[in-house]
Amino acid sequence: MPKNTLLRKLAKEHGTPLFIVDHDVLRANYAEFKRRLPRVQAYYAVKANPAPEIVKTLFETGASFDVASIGEFRLVYENIRDLPPKARQDYIWDKIIYANPIKDKATLEELDQYKPLVTYDNLEEVRKIRKHAPHAGLALRIRVPNTGSMVELSSKFGAAPGEAADLIAAAFDAGLVVEGLCFHVGSQCTNIDNYVQALNMSAQVLDETAGRGYKLKLLDIGGGFPAPYDGSIQRFRDLAKVLNAEFRRLFPKELEILAEPGRFMVATAATLVAEVIGKAQRDGKRCYYLNDGIYHTFSGVLFDHCQYRIKAFKKGPTQLCAVFGPTCDALDTICQSEPLPELNLGDLVHSEHIGAYSHASSTWFNGFPPAKVVHINV
């Protein structure tokens, strides 16, 4: 069945707004990641879209998981709770990383029983982990360039590379075990040089640390792998080619390398179908109002600096239009210049590649509920 026909059929069956997740796309994205980066274990960044159905599908494909809250940890744990205790503990150790460098004490105390791998980037966190989660393994997050990434993270997290060896030594002196390093080049990173610089900085830190008697065994290269929102985004295979070359040049074969793809896994796996509920002419511009907006599935416009294309199902001459969400807040502006044909009340529109950092941030603001979610090809 053609995609547009399927979207309209599902909208008629379930109503709108409707957030449609295609699990065949999830599996294909995971397979491509593994094919292009065979040395890297993919730890899905649950925050990109924490739908339990998505976690289950990726778990079944063999994915590992990057969690950043105790709620996300529990969500992943639900998928492994039926494993025997020994297998469950091995899974937590090998396939879950708690990748938020800052953790409250209650979270650490709950995590400690599972002996997890957690990140840190400062001395205060070392003291906190020693007191509340002494059985955890550690990975030091270092600050690396985020130039050109859609969402910059280096101003909030990451130790300066020059202090990395001291922070690793401090953790060992506290009786903890540092397993490796991690970094993040920024979300939707289209600047390959960020990765190149980060890998070279990591290699230098690993060498310095080894020289001080601490040989680390893993490197977490974080997320940032760009989703192909449009034809201007550099192909993943080109980035992978550079990364594989740098792995071979910089690191011994025994070093374990992992990554935290979130957007790459889910962005292209979901489509939103919404309805035109209002229409006006303002200052010479056609304005349309949808039953989904910035406080809901289009939250990525605000929080993720992402602009989603809005497409009509009908054909015809287009004009640049403003598109708004349903709430009474003027912030609820989806876009100001979307080329659309003449639409009528009740017509449907859709937005593709909207699976990451979108529905995950939906609210009930102004009394409007989030879009209904439908999973296909589960």
Portion of the chain with pLDDT greater than 70, in percent:
98
3-19+270-376 and 23-267 share one fold = no
Domain spanning 3-19+270-376, CATH class: mainly beta
Q: What is the pTM of this model?
A: 0.94
Which is more confident, 325 or 305? 325
Domain covering 23-267: architecture: Alpha-Beta Barrel (3.20)
pLDDT confidence of residue 281: 96
Locate 230 and state its tokens. 């449009």
Nearest to 97 by CA among 139, 66, 75, 62: 66
Query: Could you state, in order of their start, the residue ranges of all structural domains in the chain?
Result: 3-19+270-376, 23-267
Alpha carbon distance 226, 308 (integer Å): 15
pLDDT mean over 2-28: 97
Average pLDDT of the segment spanning 166-187: 94
| 227: pLDDT strictly greater than 70 | yes
Return d(Cα 233, Cα 337) in angstroms, integer. Answer: 21
Catalytic residues: 328
Residues 29-84: tens digit of each pLDDT: 999 999 999 999 999 999 999 999 999 999 999 999 999 999 999 999 999 988 99
DSSP 87-139: HHHHHHHHHEEE--S---HHHHHHHHTT--EEEE-SHHHHHHHHHH-TT-EEE
Checking if the pLDDT of 230 tops 90, the result is no
With a cut of 70, say whether residue 7 has pLDDT above it. Answer: yes
Work out the average pLDDT over 307-312.
95
The pLDDT of residue 179 is 97
Confidence of residue 20 (pLDDT cuts 50, 70, 90): very high
Q: What is the pLDDT of residue 1?
A: 81
Query: Across residues 112-134, what is the average pLDDT?
Result: 96
- 148: pLDDT confidence band, cut at 50, 70 and 90? low
Which residues have C-beta within 8 Å of that of residue 366, sequence separation ≥ 6? Answer: 295, 326, 327, 328, 329
pLDDT for res 18: 98
Query: What is the average pLDDT across 193-215?
Result: 94
Residue 152 has pLDDT above 60, yes or no: no
From CA 374, how far away is CA 299, in angstroms rounded?
Answer: 19
pLDDT at 154: 67
